[in-house]
A and B are shown apart, each in its own frame.
Chain A
Amino acid sequence: MTITVSPLIIFLASILTSNMILSNFLGMCSYISISGEYKTASSLGKSVTLVMVFTTIINYWVNKLLIVPLGLEYLQYILFIMIIAASVQIIEMAMDRLLPDLHVKLGIFLPLITVNCAILGTTLFMVIRDYSFIQSVLFGLGSGIGWWLAISALAAIREKMGKAKLPKGLEGPGIAFIITGIMALAFIGFSGIFSIT
C-alpha cells in the first residue's frame, strides 16, 4: 500500500533533502563541467528545470497509458530516453521560434541536457515511487530547482575560489568534487525536516 505524501512535501523534499545532486548524485557530468561560471551555470540549471517538468509530464502519461497497460516495463529505459531526446528537440525548436531571447540564453544547453542522467532519474523515481500526476509535476519541478540550486551554489563558490591558490592537482574537477561533498554534508542538516524515499 502506498502512503500518500502531500505534493507540497515532495516538492520541498526534492529541493532540499532528496536533492538530485547532493543526495542522489545524479547529473554529475554537466554539473561538474559547466559550473565554472555562475551565469552559465544558472542558465543551465534553469534549462534543466524546464526540461525536467516537461519530461516528467510527458513520461507520466506515456507510462500510464502505454507502458503499464501493454506490460512493457522492461522497455522503460529505452522508451523514456527516446521520449526525453525527442521532447528536448521539440522544446528547442519551439523556444527558438517563440522565445528567441530565452533560446539564446538556454537553447544551446538543451542538447546537453538530453543526456543528463538527472532527467532520466527523475522519471524513474516517479515511476518507482508510484506518484500521482500532481505529485509527479511537483517532483519534477522540485528536482529541477534543487539541481539549479546545487549547480548555482557550486559555480558561485568556484568563482570565488578563482582567486584562491589551489594545489595544482586539485584545480578544476578535483576541488569541485570536494566542494560538492561538503555541500552534501551541509544539506544533511535539512534531513530532519521531511523526507521522501
Chain B
Amino acid sequence: MSSSEIVILGTGIHPFGRFDRSPEDLGAAAARQALLEAGLTWPDIQAAYLSRMYLPATSGARILSRLGGTDISIVDIEAACASGGAALRQAVLAIRSGEVDTVLVLGVEKMPRGFMDPSMIYADWQVRMGMSMNPAYWSMRARRHMHEFGTTEEQIATVAWKNHRNSVENPNAMYRKAFTMEQILGSKLVCDPIRLLEICAPNDGAAAVVLTTAGRARELGGEPVTIAACAHTIARYSADFRCPADSMSATIANPGPTEVTALKAYEQAGFGPGDIDCFEVQDTDAFCEIEICEQLGLCEVGGGGPLVEGGHTEIGGRCPVNMSGGLISKGEPVGASHLGQVVEIVSQLRGKSGARQVEGARSGLAHVLGAGGNCAVTILKA
C-alpha cells in the first residue's frame, strides 16, 4: 500500500438497540473503543466529524467533550440515511488535503420508537393527505418491480429470512432471532406487499472509526484496512422514487443514486463489483436489498429476486450481502448505520467475524441510501 493511501486503523461500536443511555454515553463508548483499537489517545486526533440526523446542534462537540477538552475542529454532518458516508468522505478529504493526518469519524443516533417524525422530511400538505409513511414508497417500488420483473413475495421474504438468520451471530444487533419463511410471510402487512418482519426499526446506537495515512499506520503498527473509495451523491432529477417525492417524470428516467454513487466508487477504487468479496447494503425493507443488488451490479436489472432465491447472497454464496444481519435486524440508528457497516467490513477483512466470516474476504463494500436520494458507497480493501 502506498504511504499516501488512507486507512482505517481503529473501529468501535456500541450495540444497536434501545437503551436508557444518552447520546454522550453511546458515542463516547464507541469513540474510546476505536481509539483503543488504533493504539491512540484522544490528544492524537486532529479533527473529528459526527454523523447524526436526529440529534441537536453541535452534538459532536458535546459528545466528544466526554473524552477531554480540545481545540480541534469538530463538525456535525447530516445527509439523511447516508450521513455516515458523507462524514467519512469529509474525513478522507481532510486527510487528503494534507492539513491533518489522524481523524475520528463518529456516528451516533438516538431515535424515538415507531415511524420517523414526518416533519423532518415531508411538507405539511403531504402529511395532511396521508403521504408521510416512509414504507409506502418502498412498497410502491416493490409492487412495480413485481409487475415488471415477476419478483415474488417469497423472494422478498427470503431477504428478511437471510438477514434475520445472519443476525443471530452478531452481538451488536438489536434483534438476534431467526424466523421461518412462514413466520415472515405471515407477519402483519405494513404497506402491501411489505410486512412487519421485512422492515427495519429506528433505534439507538453508535459506531466510530479512526483514519490515518498508510505511512503513519506503518509507524504505529496495528491492522490497517485501506479505504479504496468513499463517495456520496444525491439523486438526480427523476432518478429515484423515494420519500418525500411527490411526483416523478414519466418521460425521463435518470440513473438512480445507487448506480451513480457506486460507479464513482468503482472508478475511485479501480475495481468493480465482481472483485468485491462481501457487501453491507441498505435493507430498510427487504425489497430494497433486491433492488440495490441490481443497482450495484451484482446481477442484471430484474435479476435481484432470483439472486437471493438462489442463495448467492448468503454468507457462503457468490456475493454475500448483509453478513451482519443488515438494518432489518440491527435497526437503523440513522447517523450510525453506515459506520456500523464499515465496522463490519473491517472485521470481515481482518478475518475476525467468527460465524459470520466470509472465507478469505479481501475487499468489501458498504452502501446506504435514504431520503432525498442521499446515497453513500464506501469500498475497503485489506
Q: Do A and B come from one complex?
A: no
